[in-house]
Amino acid sequence: MSNDHNESLAAIKIQQENIQTSIRGLQEIVQKVRQQIAAKRGEIHAIKDAHVPASVATERFTSHVRTKAERSGFERQVWEFWKPDRYSPGVLFPGFGSENPEAPNIAAIDIDAALCFLFQDEIIERFKAITAEGLKPGLPLDERPAVLAKLEAELLQLEIEEEALIVELDRMGFPIERREDARPEVVLEWQD
């Protein structure tokens, strides 16, 4: 009987070792899935925060410069020189009332608007030169939503896989903590 008892203990020990090996394997798989989740989130973040293509940035900047130039008021002042009777030019770049209480009647000039009016093309060309010096643009804006939707779906599948492993380990009596940033909808909607 002692021999049978020893064999039973040995068999139990082997089973325990196999269970421990299985649990370690599952825990390692959870860690790998978590690494994949982190990588997928990194991809999503990179796409969301990527620079827009140079053409889009240039279009935005050009529009901004042209709008500033139009608001400079310079053209309105130029027309004063063409009037036959009431020739009364003021400052070339009309400004706005001074916020300085010591000089309330002195107009403050919007230097951005003045420079944009005088040097529109030069400013735009300088912008193009600066952006050509190494900014790496991301995907075109119209492609981003589809790529992000695909990556979000892949992320969801990884999170579901992680939750399945966590539930399985818990059933085996070896609970594992969920990530702090685990999505509640994945955890709460889990179907056995």
Return the higher-pLDDT residue of 51 and 94: 51
Q: Which of 120, 137, 154 is the last residue of a domain?
A: 137
Residues 1, 71 within the same domain: no
110 within 8 A of 124, measured Cβ to Cβ: no
Can you tell me the distance from the alpha carbon of 69 to that of 123, in angstroms, rounded to the nearest whole number?
A: 11
Residues 6+ apart with CB under 8 A from 108: 95, 96, 97, 98, 99
Total domain count, the chain: 2
Residues 154, 171 within the same domain: yes
The predicted model scores a pTM of 0.64
Tokens of 163: 């939750």
Residues 154, 126 within the same domain: no
DSSP symbol at 92: S
Residues 83, 123 within the same domain: yes
Q: Which of 137, 153, 183 is the last residue of a domain?
A: 137
Which tens digit of pLDDT belongs to each residue from 137-187? 788 899 999 999 999 999 999 999 999 989 888 888 888 899 999 888 888
Residues 61, 132 within the same domain: yes
Residues 42, 61 within the same domain: no
Can you tell me the distance from the alpha carbon of 95 to that of 108, in angstroms, rounded to the nearest whole number?
A: 5
Return the higher-pLDDT residue of 68 and 7: 68
Q: Provide mean pLDDT across the span 101-127.
A: 79
Residues 146, 132 within the same domain: no
Residues 60, 131 within the same domain: yes
Residues 91, 35 within the same domain: no
Domain that holds residue 121: 53-137
Can you tell me the distance from the alpha carbon of 152 to that of 18, in angstroms, rounded to the nearest whole number?
A: 36
Banded model confidence at residue 99, pLDDT cuts 50, 70, 90: low
Residues 41, 77 within the same domain: no
* Burial bucket for residue 36 (CB in 10 Å: 0-12, 13-18, 19+): middle
Predicted local confidence at residue 72, as pLDDT: 79
